[in-house]
Amino acid sequence: VIRIALDAMGGDNAPHVEVEGTALALRELPPTFRIQLVGRTADVETALKRHPGIDRARLDIVEAPDVIGMGEKPLAAIRGKPRSSIAVALGMQKKGASDAFISAGNTGAVMAGATLILRLHTGVRRAAIGAVFPTAGHSVLVIDGGANVDCDARELVNFAHLGSVYARDVLERRDPGVGLLNVGEEEEKGSAVVQQAHQLLKAVAGLRYLGSVEGRDILTGQCRAGRVDVVVCDGFIGNAILKFYESAGRMFAGMLTQAFPDVLGRPEATELLKFLDYSEYGGAPLLGIQGVTIICHGASPARAIMNAVRVAGQMVRSRLNQDIGAEFAGGGAVA
C-alpha cells in the first residue's frame, strides 16, 4: 500500500479540487493507493458530500486546523503554524505514517516545510524543483524549475545528480544524458557560474554529462553529444522557461482553435489540445529532501491532482528517495 498525503487546504479551489482529485485517483489508479486528506475535517467532509460513491475504505481524513495562505512568508508560516495541513502532512511522512506529500498550496511554504521537517539528504546543498517538460518525443526534466534563484556551481552539480536519479527511477531512462543549459556549445561560452559548473561536471563520476546544451535542445531532447534527458539550470531561468512554455502552449492552442474550428471535434485535436494544456500535468517533484514531495500549480484541476498522485506512486515504488540518498552517500556526487 502506498499512502499519499494530500494537502486538502492548498490550491485556489481547495478543498473541492483536492477532494475531486482524490475521488478520481481512487477510481482510476490501482487499489494499492491510499489517500490521506490532510486539512480541516469539517471542510473536507462537506466537500466529500459531492462524491457519495468515493471509496472511503481507502481514504483517511487527518485533522489539521490551520491553513497557510498563498501570500504568507514561507518560513514564518511553517514555524508559526505547526498544525497547518502542510506541517501536519510532512510530520506524518517524517514519522513513517505516510509515504508521500502533494500540495497545490504555497510553494515556498512546502519547500521550507519539507526542508525543515524531512531535512535534506546529506551532501545536498539545496532542494530543487524538477520540471518535466512534455515534448513531441520523450519528456525532458529541467532542474531547477524555480526553487533557487541564485545558484553557485556546486549547487548546479547537485541538480545534475538529483535530475539524473529522477530520470532513471521515474522517467525510466536507462542511462540519462545530462546537459548544462548554456548560450552555446563552445567551452568558453556562458556565465562565470555556468563555466565553473561545466568544469566540475566534466570531472564528476556516475553521470552521463553531455556538456552544454542550448534553449532549443530542451524540446528536441537532442544535442550534438546525444540524447538529452535532463537539463540543468538555476531556478530563475528554469522558472522563466517553464512559465514561458505553459503560455506558449496556451497561445498555440488558441491559434489552432481559431484557425481550424472545424477540426476540433477530431480525436487528434483533442489529443493535441490536451498536450498543449499544462494543467493536465501532475505537478513537480521537490528533489533533494529525505522523502517524497510534489508541488502542484495553485490552479491545478482535479485531473492534475490525480496525475500527481500517480507520479508520487512512481516515486515511492521506484525507491527514488533511497536512490538519491545512495547517490550522495558515497561522496562522489558531492562537488
Question: If binding is defined by CB under 8 A, does position 162 make contact with a copy of itself?
Answer: no
Q: Which of 31, 206, 254, 330 binds a copy of itself (CB under 8 A)?
A: 254
Q: Does 251 bind a copy of itself (CB under 8 A)?
A: yes
**Strand, coil or helix: 94:** helix
**How, if at all, do strands 226-227 and 230-232 pair?**
unpaired
Say if strands 2-7 and 33-39 run parallel, antiparallel, or are unpaired.
Answer: parallel
Among 1, 136, 203, 205, which residue sits at the site for a copy of itself (rule: CB under 8 A)? 136
Q: Are 308 and 294 in contact (CB under 8 A)?
A: yes
- DSSP designation for 201: H
Q: Which stretch binds a copy of itself (CB under 8 A): 75-83, 185-193, 203-211, 288-296?
A: 185-193
Secondary structure letter of residue 118 according to DSSP: I
Kindly indicate which of the ranges 10-18, 123-131, 183-191, 309-317 contains the residues binding a copy of itself, using the contact rule CB under 8 A.
183-191
Answer for which of 220, 279, 318, 322 binds a copy of itself (CB under 8 A) is 220
Q: Is residue 12 a contact point for a copy of itself (CB under 8 A)?
A: no
Distances from the Cα of 169 to the Cα of 142, 165, 324, angstroms:
16, 6, 10
Q: Which is nearer to a copy of itself, 18 or 72 (CB)?
A: 72
Contact 64, 32 (CB under 8 A): no
Cell, residue 151: 545558484
Q: Out of 75, 116, 204, 248, name the contact with a copy of itself by CB under 8 A.
A: 248
Q: Does 217 bind a copy of itself (CB under 8 A)?
A: yes
Residue 272 binds a copy of itself (CB under 8 A):
yes
Q: Write the Ramachandran bin of 234: left for phi over 0, alpha for psi from -120 to 50, otherwise beta.
A: beta
Q: Which stretch binds a copy of itself (CB under 8 A): 55-63, 166-174, 232-240, 290-298?
A: 232-240
Q: According to DSSP H, which parts of 29-73 are helical?
A: 41-48
Give whichever of 119 and 154 is closer to a copy of itself, judged by the CB atom.
154
Q: Tell me whether residue 42 or residue 240 sits nearer to a copy of itself (CB atom).
A: 240
**Residue of 94, 79, 100 whose CA lies nearest to 36:** 100
247 touching a copy of itself, by CB under 8 A? yes
Burial class of 203 by CB neighbour count within 10 A (0 to 12, 13 to 18, 19+): exposed
Q: Which of residues 16-55 bind a copy of itself (CB under 8 A)?
A: none
195/130 Cα distance (integer angstroms): 22
Q: Decide: is 119 part of the binding site for a copy of itself (CB under 8 A).
A: no
Q: How far is residue 105's CA from residue 115's CA, in Å, rounded to a whole number?
A: 16
Out of 191, 257, 274, 323, point to the residue binding a copy of itself (CB under 8 A).
191
Cβ nearer to a copy of itself, comparing 30 with 267: 267
Three-class DSSP category at 230: strand
Strand 177-181 and strand 208-213: the pairing is parallel
Residue 319 interacts with a copy of itself (CB under 8 A)?
A: no
Of 33, 159, 245, 328, the one binding a copy of itself by CB under 8 A = 245
Binding residues with a copy of itself: total (CB under 8 A): 47
Q: Which residues bind a copy of itself (CB under 8 A)?
A: 135-136, 146, 149-150, 181, 183, 189-192, 194, 214-220, 233, 235-237, 239-248, 251-252, 254-256, 259-260, 263, 266, 268-269, 271-272, 275
